[in-house]
């Protein structure tokens, strides 16, 4: 009977120690992001970005989309400051607004990091002036890549 109890306690100890080691080694990266985009027309739908960390040092980016090779959406590789990103985007339109899902993938500390979020872009033509012009100007000056690069640089 004592051998059974000892064996059970040993198994519980091994499982517990294994769980501690597993969760202890999991990366817990933090990042900074703005609460809002400081825009009047472009609005975040899924925000803040969801952060996914993959324990993999292989970075690759298969560019394509918009019907190329039958892929919907678009995927491009882009270097912003000193970080190389694989940027995927897929858009859907409804009732005067386009919703675009973005995923920015990059390497950070020998791990693949993915930031995913959704933004809403109204169709500026649905507004009368001066809102139409303001909406169009906002789209021209809004630099999503620089915003995401600042967030990516803050990942720790």
Confidence of residue 30 (pLDDT cuts 50, 70, 90): confident
Confidence of residue 28 (pLDDT cuts 50, 70, 90): low
Confidence of residue 58 (pLDDT cuts 50, 70, 90): confident
Please write the tens of the pLDDT for every residue from 127-153: 999 999 999 999 999 999 999 999 999
pLDDT, position 142: 96
pLDDT, position 137: 97
pLDDT, position 87: 96
Please write the tens of the pLDDT for every residue from 61-117: 988 887 555 556 899 999 999 999 999 999 888 888 999 999 999 999 889 999 999
| Separation between Cα atoms, residue 7 and residue 23, nearest integer Å | 24
Question: SS3 for 103?
Answer: strand
Q: Where are the domains of the chain?
A: 32-154
pLDDT, position 20: 63
Confidence of residue 122 (pLDDT cuts 50, 70, 90): very high
Contacting residues for 139 by C-beta, under 8 A, at least 6 apart:
41, 42, 121, 124
In angstroms, the Cα distances linking 34 to 54, 92, 153 are 24, 25, 13
| Separation between Cα atoms, residue 49 and residue 85, nearest integer Å | 15
Confidence of residue 22 (pLDDT cuts 50, 70, 90): low
| Separation between Cα atoms, residue 130 and residue 127, nearest integer Å | 8
């Amino acid at each position: 009977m004592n051998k059974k109890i000892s064996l059970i306690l040993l198994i519980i100890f091994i499982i517990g120690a294994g769980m501690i080691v597993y969760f202890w080694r999991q990366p817990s990266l933090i990042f900074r992001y703005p609460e809002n985009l400081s825009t009047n027309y472009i609005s975040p739908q899924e925000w803040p970005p969801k952060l996914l960390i993959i324990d993999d040092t292989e970075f690759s980016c298969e560019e394509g989309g918009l019907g190329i090779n039958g892929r919907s959406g678009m995927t491009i590789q882009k270097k912003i400051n000193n970080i190389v990103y694989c940027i995927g985007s897929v858009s859907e339109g409804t009732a005067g607004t386009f919703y675009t899902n973005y995923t920015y993938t990059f390497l950070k500390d020998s791990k693949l990091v993915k930031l995913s979020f959704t933004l809403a872009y109204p169709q500026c033509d649905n507004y009368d002036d001066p809102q139409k012009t303001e909406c169009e100007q906002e789209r021209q000056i809004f630099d999503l890549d620089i915003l995401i690069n600042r967030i990516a640089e803050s990942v720790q």
